[in-house]
Amino acid sequence: MSDRSKKLGPRVTVSVTPGDYDTLNALAEKDDVSVSWVVRRAIQEYLRRHQRPTRAARRPALDQQTAAPART
């Protein structure tokens, strides 16, 4: 296993439209980074937005709505 694959982990291959690739390439050039870096950052942001919130991070009102009703 190469040092690079140890650092970054598994490799994923995706196909994008020519227009999306041009946009990714323009963003990468603007920030002087690679297209791969832009894609990894986009994946990180997507995963962060779609992770289920932890119980501590939830609003109390949500906890009350989802809690089981109190028994009397």
What domains are there in the chain, each with its CATH number?
A: 3-53 (1.10.1220)
- Residue 30 confidence (pLDDT): 97
- Residue 66 confidence (pLDDT): 47
- Residue 8 confidence (pLDDT): 80
- Listed residue (46, 41, 45, 63) closest to 54, CA to CA: 63
What is the C-alpha separation between 72 and 69, in angstroms, rounded? Answer: 9
Residue 28's Cβ-count burial label (10 Å; 0-12, 13-18, 19+) is middle
pLDDT at 44 over 80: yes
